[in-house]
Amino acid sequence: MSQPDTNNSKAPVVNKRISDPQSVQVLLIGLTYLFFIGFIFLPLGLVFTQAFQKGWSFYLESIREPYAIEAVKLTLLTVAIVVPINAVFGVSAAWAITKFNFKGKTALKSLLDLPFAVSPVIAGLIFVLLVGSRTPFGSWLGEHGIKIIFSTPGIIIATIFVTFPFIARELIPLMEAQGRDEEEAALTLGARGWQIFGKITLPNIRWGLLYGMILCGARSIGEFGAVSVVSGHIRGQTNTIPLHVEILYSEYNFTASFAVASLLVFLALLTVVIKNGMEKHFHKNSLHL
Amino acid sequence: MGIELQNINKKFGEYKAIDNLSLSIPSGDLIALLGPSGCGKTTLLRIIAGLELADSGKIILENKDTTNLPPRKKNVGFVFQHYALFRRLNVFENVAFGLKVLPFKERPPRIEIRDRVEHLLKLVQMDWALNRYPSQLSGGQRQRVALARALAVNPRVLLLDEPFSALDAKVRQELRRWLRKLHDEIHVTSIFVTHDQEEALELADKIVVINKGRIEQEGTPQEVYDHPANAFVYNFLGNVNVFHGRIKNGKVSLGDHDLDAPDELKYIEEKPSQTFVRPHEIGISRIRSNENDLVGIIHEVRLQGGQIGLNIECEGLDNPIEAEVPRELFVNLQLAKGVQVFVTINRVRVFAGDYEI
């Protein structure tokens, strides 16, 4: 980003000729700002105005209310389970795809994007059809006292499905660029599989992995569609933060709804900040080969 | 024997990468596997190291059959074309890696590891860089660290996969001479793969020329260069003029000219032939000294260090001849573009039959 600036100060004449006319610059920058204002600043501002409409104490009350706290707990529990599971899956999938040659590799690589392409609602429905109480498998589980749909496991499974591409997607290009040379070198030097993974592979991908985990976590917190289908909206039991927001909203309890929603906004902003810090580190450390 | 390969075969799909190849290398030798890209030389090296599995055949390293050992137990030092240093570890940790991953019982004590790593880094003249990271080193320095890393585990054999090809010309030449010197000190049986004939000729005790997964010729650099076994080897080792013609009645045709065929081809029936002449085996003069001399016009003059390259269009030949003359002769004869010269062919190699390259 800083390169064009230095060029500009050193060779203004050349740069003037090759850069776009002033009017185009103004127009594009203006449009960008307009877009940001309309789609990001304004809505964010509205969330907070609505949240604090009835004052600070009402805000605190809304987010301290037992159902809200249960929703936050469930959301955090979901994230705490989903992210590690997807990290393990993402690393093994990326490892398999980049370091081995096997049949169906290309197909797997493209299918990895499926959760992004398919509507989350359908993702939820798939699991209802698979393990819901009306299916043979679901009723068998029910007889053994295992409940998946309309309970926490269902929410976790649906969230895993929706977020599993994030980490693998982040790691595959990185591992492809790094190649197998270092692992092969370690192999000829006598290292065992786990030593190679722990000492060579993991350190080489750690920033990409963390970055993918952040994205995966952010999406897990905010996932609505798939979770909505499998959760059953039982207050205090199967409500995550986004579902709780929706319930409050549909009960015309706007201020409380926005207050809880502001929690999501805080989490999102936190994610962006961490992500940015990480990106700097990531580019500094991981990409030089 | 340092390295003994018996009937190695390897196919990638339908493609025969290694075709029933056998090779014996005495202990302590430095061998060059020389061949064009895609000839299977790197595959062969990777098979010896266990990074690739042969379809059949036997690999014996320093009298131990390692065919079915997993790569980590083959105890082979491998140096990669692009160094493959561990980017997250500093130079010391890179070289110490092979010792530190040993099972607890075999692992030397810390101080011993330190001593050994420092000794090796001194050997490759990199002891000043203990705490540097690979990204802070130049290509030549990285490759020297990679060599120290490979030597740290006391390998049975050392394998180098085009070790200098990613370096620039000057560093390449320096490192080449330095590797030869190093090998004379440590005497570990070594194979290096290269497609650069100059490198092979300069560095190796013995050259193994490989083409299409088979050995075309093996021998000392002198033998291989002076007595190429076939047209492929002749063509691959150094610049060469090729004339396609026919052998007939003890004569080889060279364009409109006829040369006496070599003795072993004198009495064969009519066949297509290929005649090879090295550019430095061509004599140039301004006066006709021999009735067999060709008459030509200098078409192009190229400066090649101490030698001058000439491209000469000769009467009766389809293609121009490449010749090399010392700079002194070039000046004395007042040669230049467009000058008429007489060309004496001092030495030819004739191969009968069409050889596909």
Evaluate whether residue A49 is within a structural domain. Answer: no
**Does residue A18 fall inside a structural domain?**
no
> CB distance B71–A188 less than 8 Å?
yes
On whether the CB atoms of residues A121 and A226 are closer than 8 A, the answer is yes
Please tell me whether residue A33 adopts helix, strand or coil conformation: helix
Q: Label residue B66 by pLDDT band (50, 70, 90).
A: very high
Compute the average pLDDT of residues A151-168. 91
Q: Looking at the domain assignment, is residue A126 inside a domain? A: yes
Q: How confident is the model at residue B94 (pLDDT cuts 50, 70, 90)?
A: very high
Question: Cβ distance A170 to A258 under 8 Å?
Answer: no
Q: What is the pLDDT of residue A278?
A: 78
- Of the residues A103, A187, A189, A197, the best mutation for testing chain B's interface (the one with the most B CB atoms within 10 Å of its CB) is A189
Q: Return the minimum-mean-pLDDT range out of A111-120, A184-193, B128-137.
A: A111-120
Q: Model ipTM?
A: 0.83
- Alpha-carbon distance values, A157 to A131, A163, B211, B278 (Å): 11, 10, 56, 73
User: What's the whole-model pTM score?
Assistant: 0.79
pLDDT band at A3 (very low <50, low <70, confident <90, very high): very low
CA distance A179 to A185: 11
Coil, strand or helix: which one is B83? coil
SS (H, E, C) A229-269: HHHCCCCCCCCCHHHHHHHHHHCCCHHHHHHHHHHHHHHHH
Question: By the 8 A CB rule, do B296 and B345 touch?
Answer: no
List, for residues B172-182, the tens digit of each pLDDT value.
888 898 899 99
**Do the Cβ atoms of A61 and A260 come closer than 8 Å?**
no
Residue B287 distance to chain A (closest CA, Å): 60
CATH number of residue A216's parent domain: 1.10.3720.10
- Long-range CB contacts (within 8 A, 24+) of A73-80: A74/A152, A74/A155, A74/A238, A74/A239, A74/A240, A75/A221, A75/A240, A75/A241, A77/A152, A78/A152, A78/A155, A78/A156, A78/A159, A78/A220, A78/A240, A79/A217, A79/A220, A79/A221
Predicted pLDDT at B126: 93
**In chain A, whose CA is at the least distance from the CA of B98?**
A189
Q: Name the CA radius of gyration of chain A, rounded.
A: 24
Per the CB < 8 A criterion, the answer to whether A230 and A242 are in contact is: no
Q: What is the pLDDT of residue A147?
A: 81
Q: Is the pLDDT of residue A286 over 60?
A: no
Quote the pLDDT of residue B235: 87
Domains of chain B in start order, with CATH, are 3-236 (3.40.50.300), 241-352 (2.40.50.100)
Question: What does the alpha-carbon distance between residue B49 and residue A206 come to, in Å, rounded to a whole number?
Answer: 29
Query: Taking CB atoms and an 8 Å cutoff, what residues of chain B touch A188?
Result: 49-51, 71-72, 74, 76-78, 150
Q: Which residues of A touch B73 (CB under 8 A)?
A: 190
The percent helix, strand, coil of chain B (3-state, each to 5) is 30, 35, 35
Contact B97 A199 (CB under 8 A): yes
**Domain span including residue A269:** 55-281
Could you read off the pLDDT of A92-109 as tens digits, one per residue?
999 989 888 888 888 888
In a domain, A50, yes or no: no
What band does A129 get if pLDDT is binned at 50, 70 and 90?
confident
What value does the mean pLDDT take over residues A246-268?
Answer: 90
Residue B22 main-chain phi, psi, to 5 deg: -125, 145
Suggest the residue from A103, A174, A188 to mutate for an interface test with chain B (most B CBs closer than 10 A).
A188
With contacts defined as CB-CB under 8 Å, which chain B residues touch A204? 87-88
| Residue A99 pLDDT | 82
CA–CA gap between residue B254 and residue B261 (Å, rounded): 11
The answer to the question of residue A4 being in a domain is no
In this structure, the strands spanning B64-65 and B56-61 are antiparallel
Q: Which residue(s) pair with B344 in the sheet?
A: B283
Q: What is the pLDDT of residues A226-248, one digit of tens each?
A: 998 888 878 778 889 999 999 99
- B244-265: pLDDT as tens digits: 888 888 888 887 788 877 777 7
How many other C-beta atoms are found inside a 10 Å radius of the C-beta of residue B312?
Answer: 23
pLDDT of A4 higher than 50? no
Compute CA A211 distance to the chain's CA centroid, rounded to the nearest angstrom: 10
Residue in B with minimal Cα distance to A185: B84
> Nearest CA of chain B to the CA of A189: how many Å?
5
Tell me if A204 and B88 make a contact (CB, 8 A cut-off): yes
| Range scoring the smallest mean pLDDT among A16-20, A57-61, B18-22 | A16-20
C-alpha distance from B105 to closest chain A C-alpha (Å): 14
Contact assignment for A188 to B50 by CB distance below 8 Å: yes
How far does the CA of residue B143 sit from the closest CA of chain A (Å)? 13
The distance of A133 to chain B (nearest Cα, Å) reads: 49
- Contact state of B84 with A203 under an 8 Å Cβ cutoff: no
Specify the number of domains making up chain A: 1
| Residues B101, A186: C-beta atoms closer than 8 Å | yes
Question: Containing H/E element for A275?
Answer: helix A254-285
**CA dist., res. B271 & res. B226, Å (int):** 25
Q: What are phi and psi of B109, to 5 degrees?
A: -65, 160
What mean pLDDT value characterizes chain B? 90
Q: What confidence tens digit (pLDDT) does each residue in B107-122 have?
A: 999 999 999 999 999 9
Closest CA to B259 of B350, B338, B168: B350
Average pLDDT of span A1-15:
46
Tell me the residues of B at the A interface, defined by beta carbons under 8 Å apart.
49-51, 71-78, 80, 82, 84-89, 97-98, 101-102, 135, 146, 149-150, 152-153
* Domain assignment of residue A120, yes or no: yes
Amino acid of residue B65: D
> For residue B158, what is the nearest residue in chain A, using CA coordinates?
A188
Q: Quick one: pLDDT at residue B110?
A: 94
Are the C-beta atoms of residues B202 and B28 closer than 8 Å to each other? no
Spell out which residues of chain B touch residue A289, defining contact as CB-CB under 8 Å. 87
The CA-based angle B281-B286-B292, given to 5 degrees, is 60
- pLDDT(B209) > 70: yes
pLDDT of residue A11 exceeding 60, the answer is: no
- The yes-or-no verdict on residue A51 having pLDDT over 60 is yes
Q: Is residue A14 part of a domain?
A: no
Interchain pair A189, B150: CB under 8 A = yes
